[in-house]
A and B are shown apart, each in its own frame.
Chain A
């Protein structure tokens, strides 16, 4: 048994940390807060050059052919640097959807472009009902003479404004899981309207996407058989977001500890006060075991272990709370300055809240764990 990272994985993570410290500093993130799309094509291109956008893509389509554990290590570093942009949604979610569900034509059309960073994908999943189950997928796909058209609205679609291709969960018939299909939609398709939603985490832009008789370019997998892949994408998203949260929590802790060592009150560094030391120690005691949970969830996904979904829920349940608690404490350890726009801490504080609710908050996943465990 080996519950540890390989040398290559260590190296990947270290290289990612160094690259992002250089290329995605807090000043860089701050500048992107005011960007129209919250996205830097140049950073995306540089990440593509390192092979990151193609991390999950098999070599024959121009990628590195690695797994979710490798991706999780990368995402941990992206969470640490609170990288703005569509990477997680494009290079993990949309890419995996094509990889698992795409026909060979669809794969050939999209995977090389996603891997090279030339194209960006995203997942259009939630609707106004904010439901995560199959019953929440009500966007209608109607069969016409030359294919299907979509009518309805998807909500909270990440980085829709810069996406070239949408993976859309739609209803092709019936009720429940049976009538759910996964459709592929080109951004140029007629009838597509993309409206930004003004949200407090400017590093994670979301949009309302309206479909008016929008033709799809095809289904991923068979019509009416899309739910299984949607469920898998949810597991993947849980692990990916947990990895991002883990890195973010670690960074918030590191920043808070550094600050308390420098800041003096009562003629001594405030890091010498037990009230603050104990806060920091509590953060460590939550983050360290959580790291092992994220690693296991990624490993279980990669190896298709029988408890992969349960492990994904555990990671998401735990990290949803740990990240929020850690950033909350980190802001407090900074005192008044931590509450200002000028200080960077709110980047992580807000990202924690975004990650907490996306793809199910802690309570949702705990109920899911209870069911997996048969009570």
Chain B
């Protein structure tokens, strides 16, 4: 156990901090009044990731051959994450490519695939979306029915995906399709990469409870995909997907974002008064703030522990299985307390007069509930922990 920072680390932190201070995008009121998926906001988000990448602060651990920094020192990765929080930097628009597709390709992709796709994931030149869920396949994902038939050198894809976040502005989709309808359900699935501009694809936005169209239905009608876009072996997609799901769950449970939300929450509690006193002076609010702080700190150290295990080449244990469950519920609890603090002001929408923090809290309160459901619901997570982690038998 050694959490001390070396002189080099401290120097690195200083460099990162200076860079962030000069480069983190300033708040732009005209932009923040627009819906999250407005093209102007998307462009600005891409610009931010591109600059952060150019500075060398995106996905430090990826090999240089694919545009990464080849820097596997977890201390420096941690420093970058911490400084991003402190600088209140916006999240990365290419997150699904960075945390789900990237690690999967690095693990099972061909050399050509890695060369072709990874550099543009880093620079946000290409944005990725995930094609997993279908109308009839939610928690029982392996029952998916979107089929891909091999015709010569191409797959012909027909079917429908749903809850596809960011499909309307994504360039590519990593997608699960059924390639062998006769095999048992887990053994007839393949993992393919689909160019979203291919003819036959229709994206129809779905409006979420937040009022925004964050996710979509995606329809495939005789969509032709080159065979070389297959990742891993034919019909082995379930195994590839499980690796990706693991990464997704870690992203959804990410502590960096949570720490930032907690900081904002404490700020809100200090600033906002209700029932005649600042919320931060109300004993019940203080108790809840300190409880959330404790749980956030626990997850921070929990992630340090997993990073250490990873660098030492140890298999992730049962501890890694709780990240998604705990992380997403923690985020939602933070937002719930923010609403409690805001009281009568809580339901005011973005742009409303008297709105606090431009409506981000009620928006996040709803959005984070979506994250509890997406990527495997909390209930599915509990099944996974108890079955794979504790060896309890499957339910009948």
A: residues with CB less than 8 A from B are 1-6, 69, 257, 260-261, 268-269, 271-274, 276-278, 280-282, 284-285, 288-293, 295-296, 299, 303, 311, 314, 317-318, 363, 365-367, 369-370, 373, 375
Contact = CB atoms under 8 A, between A and B. Distances in A.
A4 B308 CA distance: 6
B395 interface: yes
14 contacts: A261-B392, A274-B395, A277-B383, A280-B385, A280-B390, A281-B325, A284-B390, A288-B302, A289-B295, A289-B298, A289-B299, A293-B298, A370-B286, A373-B266
B295 A277 contact: no
Contacts of B382: 274, 277-278, 281-282
A2 B2 contact: yes
Contact of A3 (B266, B286, B294, B305): B305
Contact of A273 (B304, B318, B395): B395
B10 interface: no
B294 A280 contact: no
B334 interface: no
A375 B281 CA distance: 7
B244 to A, nearest CB: 22
A303 B4 CA distance: 10
Count chain A CB atoms within 10 A of each CB in B305, B318, B389, B394 and give the residue with the most: B305
B385 A1 contact: no
A257 B1 contact: no
Given A289-B326, A299-B3, A281 B298 contact: no
Interface in B277-295: 280-281, 283, 286-287, 289-291, 293-295
A261 B386 CA distance: 12
Nearest to A2: B2
A292 B304 contact: yes
B294 A293 contact: yes
A291 B298 CA distance: 8
B78 A271 contact: no
Given A293-B294, A366-B294, A288 B386 contact: no
Contact of B270 (A3, A288, A296, A375): A375
A293 B308 contact: no
Contacts of B281: 375
Contacts of B318: 284, 288
B130 to A, nearest CB: 24
B9 to A, nearest CB: 8
Given A1-B74, A257-B390, A271-B393, A284 B290 contact: no
Nearest to B279: A375
Contacts of A261: 391-393
A272 B325 CA distance: 20
Contact of B3 (A1, A269, A284, A375): A1
B269 A375 contact: yes
Contact of A1 (B304, B393, B396): B304
B314 to A, nearest CB: 8
Interface string B307-335: 11100100000110110011000000000
A82 B78 CA distance: 37
A275 to B, nearest CB: 10
A372 to B, nearest CB: 9
Contact of B1 (A69, A268, A277, A284): A69
Nearest to B393: A272
B1 A4 contact: yes
Nearest to B326: A285
A3 B381 contact: no
B308 A3 contact: yes
B233 interface: no
A3 B396 contact: no
A284 B394 contact: no
B387 interface: yes
B287 A1 contact: no
A292 B395 contact: no
B38 interface: no
Contacts of A278: 379, 382-383, 386
Contacts of B3: 1-3, 299, 303
B297 interface: yes
Count chain A CB atoms within 10 A of each CB in B1, B318, B379, B391 and give the residue with the most: B1
A278 B384 CA distance: 10
A3 B301 contact: yes
A296 B296 CA distance: 13
B93 to A, nearest CB: 29
B369 interface: no
B203 interface: no
A284 B393 contact: no
B307 A3 contact: yes
Contacts of A273: 395
A289 B291 contact: no
Contacts of B319: 288-289, 291
B213 interface: no
Contacts of B393: 261, 268-269, 271-272
Given A261-B393, A268-B396, A284 B385 contact: yes
A92 B298 CA distance: 24
B336 interface: no
Interface in B19-39: none
B287 A363 contact: yes
Contacts of A366: 286-287, 290-291, 294
A4 B309 contact: yes
B289 A375 contact: yes
Nearest to B386: A277
Nearest to B286: A370
Contacts of A271: 392-393
Count chain B CB atoms within 10 A of each CB in A260, A272, A288 and give the residue with the most: A288
A282 B283 CA distance: 27
Contacts of B286: 366-367, 370, 375
A157 B26 CA distance: 58
B75 interface: yes
B289 A1 contact: no
B392 A260 contact: yes
Which 9 A-B residue pairs are closest in the complex by CB-CB distance?
A277-B386, A292-B301, A366-B290, A281-B382, A3-B304, A281-B385, A289-B298, A369-B290, A375-B280
Nearest to B314: A4
B256 to A, nearest CB: 16
A289 B308 contact: no
B266 A293 contact: no
Interface in B220-279: 266, 269-270
